[in-house]
Structure 1
Amino acid sequence: MSPRLQRRPAERRGLNLWPVGPVLALAFAVALLVAGGVFYTAWELLGARGLKPEHRLDSSTLFDLVKLSFGVVAGAGALVALIVAYRRQRVDEDGALRDATRLHTERFTTAVSQLGDSAPAVQLGGVHALAGLADDAPTQALRQTCIDVLCAYLQLPHAPDPGADDPADRDEHHRYLALRTVRHTVLRLIGDHYRLPAGTHGSWQGCNLDLSGITIDATINFLGATFADGLVNFAGTTFTGSEVIFTGAKFSGGTVDFNAATFSGDLLTFVHAIFSDGNVKFSRAKFAGGTVDFNAAKFSGGSVDFNAATFSGGDVTFDQATFSHSYVSFNGAAFSGGNVNFTRATRSGGNDLYGGLGPGPYDLIPRAGESVPPGLVLPDTWMP
């Protein structure tokens, strides 16, 4: 796993209950204080100025005292029963959590064994089992563990496709195709679970996702997902013939990291994405083809960082994007081909919208009410 992934605080395990004696003493003390406060408030509201002395104790007064004594005893018993019932409930809940964790561990061991099997069909079963375990995990930490294992599977080295031209390589070619199906299934399941709204069963939003250093040649669909926490890490990943979809995604605190990633003949789309506080990083990324599309995206905070990126082909487009107090940086970027286009983009506030785009970068995007330039298309020989 990448050391850059954010660490989550460890979840508390087991019970941490106070001794019953001090708890009861504290509960009685609080009850007496509350009763005294209520009595004093009622006394003041009724405007009482004193008590009428009784020289003789009649039967009616004695009966009232007996009822008061029994009421105090009953109240004390109810308080003790309430405390004991609460502690019993806590113990039962902890026992249920332990049982659920034990069952989860047993299922996890079986699923990991399937994932490590040599048969692709068995591995595929392990993938689905781990995804189901992540959905049913009794704690967030156990859910994150299942996701980490699925990501680690994608990061394992695998033999390249030997091709089907040589009959001697046909079996290895078929095995390669089968294992590729397993990897594509993992990527599909990741997208399926991140698209579910946070808080619903099966949603992985808020969990860290480490897909760094792998090769992605399939579609990952994060359509409409919300990244409010955690890190989605594509650092050093190679995208070849793939499509990564962040259309309509909301970035309100999470980070998506494409640092040092390589793009070749693919589509990475942030169309209609909303950036209110999150960050997308493309530092030192290599664009040799394909398209990175921010069309109609809304930037009201956060940043998009293309610092030291290399453009030798492909397009990065911000057509109709809107900017307000956001930052897009191209500092140190090198262009030997490809285009960066801000056609019909607008800005309504904020400073330092752009960096590294040469003289007059703040004229690239007009403020509200100003005329809209045709956009910026960088020539093949442009350098910052």
Structure 2
Amino acid sequence: MTLGLNIAALLFLAALVAVTISVGLWFLLGRPVLFGTAPWTANDSFNLLKLALAIVGGVGGVAILVIAYRKQKLGENAEIRENVKAFSDRFFKAAEQLGSAKAPVRSAGVYALEHLADDWREGRQTCIDELCAYLRMPYTPPEMRRKTRSMNVKMGRRGLRKPPAYVGPLRDPASIVPTVLDTHREAQQERQVRKAIVSVISGHLRGDAAVSWKGLNYDFSGAVFDGGDFSNVEFGGGIVDFSGVRLVAEGLNFASAKFGAGEVYFSGIELDGGHLNLSNSEFSGADVRFSSAKFTAGSVEAVGCKFVDGSILFNGSEFRGASVYFTGSKFLGGNVVFDYAEFSSGNVSFELISLDDGFLSFDQANFSGAEVSFKLSELAGGKLSFRGAAFDSGIVNFVESRFGGSKVDISYVDAWLSPPCFDSFVGGSTEGLLLPEDYSKSVSNVRDDGIGSFGRTLLDDAMLRCPFCLSDCTHVEHVYVSARCEDEVSTDFFVDAVAARVETNISVEIPVGESVGAGRRQRIALGGWCEICGEDFAIIFTQHKGATLVETSPHVPPFNFENKVAQDLTEEGF
């Protein structure tokens, strides 16, 4: 619309408003007579002239204001276009630097995008997308390049790979060395560029950032991380996607991070020898998902975390060799879910946790070889559920845990071959602990007599475990053998590994199990002790009616001649 049309439209609108107001006032005043019979005077003409001048002046003022506003608007639009053009030029220049073949130029592009994102609020998400896209590009860490090259050399030497066809003169081996060194140097430089991107992003997600980038979206899906510091960051909205990332070497550090809002995805993450540190983090409202994650090697440290609200999901995750620690974490609310997870090997520690509120679920999980420990935990509230879980093998340990107000539901399980291990619940009660109806018949696993859980497998990963605390720090020091021919007196042997002596027809009592009494034809007993709990135990193998029974019992170490001599010398004053 042209300037003339704008002015005409405004004048017409002003006249219409003036007529409307005048007619309204005339009706409100009782429709008085506007023109009398008195003669027209010079004073009336002067008043009419003043009215006309006022109208003309008002119209002129409106026209001037319209023109001024129009000029200001045109100027602002031109300035915006210039700014957008300037920001676009800076963006394309920074993106070009980020795509350079030289690592120092790429680093400069990273910081150029950072400054541009700080200055360009409307294009901040675009700059972040560019930085994240760089991290999603294919990347092989320096150590893995060396490993791949070494494997290729070995395969070539073993004849597993065809040698390259001869295409020219043989190269001098000395000329190959700089190429290898350059490749390794480039890989090291690329690692620094990627770490710089992580440092830039995490720096703007911390509470002391001059310009905050919280609440925006970050797409790291499928990236390879061999180092990156996200410690003390605050996720306050938006979507942060680490789905399918692969962690090697140093991995990622989220120590003391705050997951307050938004969505953070670690679904399908693969821990391939890397390290994921979540220690002392706080989960207070965000939706954090580790669904279908694979923890095959390396470690996850979630020590001292605080779960207040929100959902943290490990549905369908696989724990196959990695060491995972939730030690000392506090569950104060929210949902932490391990439903359908597979615990086949490695160690998963929930030791010293406190469950005061919220929901910790292992429904439909499969415990088939890993050691999952809840030792020394405080279960004072909330709910811990194992509904439909399968305890096939491995160890689930609740020894020395305190059962208070929590509801621990293990009443319905899918498999019960290696039940959880409990103690006598010292300092608490078993109220709220729901076990299968046939629990007491299937295995004597509650240590109400101080003897321990002997119904489970004591040999795990070729290690003899203590029947009291299931520790593998055991020592076997005595061997007892009792054998007899039919209807004859038994011959007993005793081996003391500490004193390096062997006795026959000994007078010490040989350990005997509860199921089979003394007097059987063959019996072998191993006497030992545990470094962790300090208990003495015996493992007894007894032949009985064509079968060999294996039992355990408390064990009092036999008389030791060297200790007796030392005691006698002490009593005599030496």
Alignment TM class, shorter chain as reference: 0.7 to 0.9
Write out aligned runs for 1:186-225 (5 A).
186-195=197-206, 202-221=211-230, 223-225=232-234
Letter in 2 for 1:71: A
**Where does residue 130 of structure 2 map in the other structure?**
149
Matched, 1:330 2:313: no
Distance 1:340 1:75 in 2: 81
Letter in 1 for 2:341: A
Question: Any idea what SS the aligned residue of 2:343 has?
Answer: strand
Write out aligned runs for 1:1-384 (5 A).
23-24=6-7, 27-28=10-11, 31=14, 48-51=29-32, 53-55=34-36, 56-137=39-120, 139-140=122-123, 143-161=124-142, 162=145, 168=177, 169-195=180-206, 202-221=211-230, 223-229=232-238, 231-240=239-248, 241-245=250-254, 247=256, 249=258, 251-252=260-261, 254-263=262-271, 264-269=274-279, 271-275=281-285, 278-288=286-296, 289-292=299-302, 295-299=305-309, 302-312=310-320, 313-316=323-326, 319-323=329-333, 326-336=334-344, 337-340=347-350, 343-347=353-357, 353=359, 356-357=362-363, 363-364=383-384, 372-373=405-406
Letter in 1 for 2:72: Q
Figure out how many residues of one structure are paired with residues of the other and give that number: 342
Instruction: Kindly indicate whether the alpha-carbon contact (under 8 Å) linking 1:136 and 1:202 is maintained by their aligned counterparts in 2.
Output: no
Greater C-alpha Rg? 2
| Runs (5+) with no aligned partner, structure 1 | 1-17
Distance 1:158 1:117 in 2: 16
C-alpha deviation, 1:259, in angstroms: 1.0
Instruction: Kindly indicate whether the alpha-carbon contact (under 8 Å) linking 1:319 and 1:342 is maintained by their aligned counterparts in 2.
Output: yes
C-alpha deviation, 1:181, in angstroms: 1.0
Instruction: Kindly indicate whether the alpha-carbon contact (under 8 Å) linking 2:256 and 2:278 is maintained by their aligned counterparts in 1.
Output: no
Letter in 1 for 2:301: T
Instruction: Kindly indicate whether the alpha-carbon contact (under 8 Å) linking 1:294 and 1:318 is maintained by their aligned counterparts in 2.
Output: yes
Q: 1:159 to 1:260 in 2, by over 3 A?
A: closer
Instruction: Kindly indicate whether the alpha-carbon contact (under 8 Å) linking 1:120 and 1:178 is maintained by their aligned counterparts in 2.
Output: yes
C-alpha deviation, 1:92, in angstroms: 1.8
Distance 2:223 2:67 in 1: 54
Instruction: Kindly indicate whether the alpha-carbon contact (under 8 Å) linking 2:382 and 2:405 is maintained by their aligned counterparts in 1.
Output: no
Would you tell me which structure has more helix in proportion to its own residues?
A: 1
C-alpha deviation, 1:191, in angstroms: 0.7
Offset from partner CA, 1:90-149 (integer Å, 9 cap, x none) = 322222222222222333333223222222122211211122222223633xx3332222
Instruction: Kindly indicate whether the alpha-carbon contact (under 8 Å) linking 1:294 and 1:321 is maintained by their aligned counterparts in 2.
Output: no
Distance 1:24 1:115 in 2: 52
Instruction: Kindly indicate whether the alpha-carbon contact (under 8 Å) linking 2:340 and 2:363 is maintained by their aligned counterparts in 1.
Output: no
Offset from partner CA, 1:204-259 (integer Å, 9 cap, x none) = 33332111111222233263534323x2111111233234327353533x221111
Letter in 1 for 2:126: T
Would you tell me which structure has more strand in proportion to its own residues?
A: 2
Distance 1:37 1:101 in 2: 45
C-alpha deviation, 1:189, in angstroms: 0.5
Q: 1:160 to 1:362 in 2, by over 3 A?
A: closer
Question: Any idea what SS the aligned residue of 1:255 has?
Answer: strand
Letter in 1 for 2:197: V
Distance 2:351 2:17 in 1: 69
Question: Any idea what SS the aligned residue of 2:325 has?
Answer: strand
| Runs (5+) with no aligned partner, structure 2 | 151-173, 366-380, 386-402, 410-417, 421-574
**Where does residue 8 of structure 1 map in the other structure?**
none
Letter in 2 for 1:219: G
C-alpha deviation, 1:188, in angstroms: 0.3
Distance 1:186 1:332 in 2: 36
Offset from partner CA, 1:63-91 (integer Å, 9 cap, x none) = 33333333333333333333333333232
Distance 2:335 2:21 in 1: 59
Distance 2:328 2:13 in 1: 63
Higher relative contact order (CA closer than 8 Å, sequence separation 6+):
1
Q: 1:80 to 1:173 in 2, by over 3 A?
A: same
Q: 1:356 to 1:109 in 2, by over 3 A?
A: same
Instruction: Kindly indicate whether the alpha-carbon contact (under 8 Å) linking 2:356 and 2:382 is maintained by their aligned counterparts in 1.
Output: no
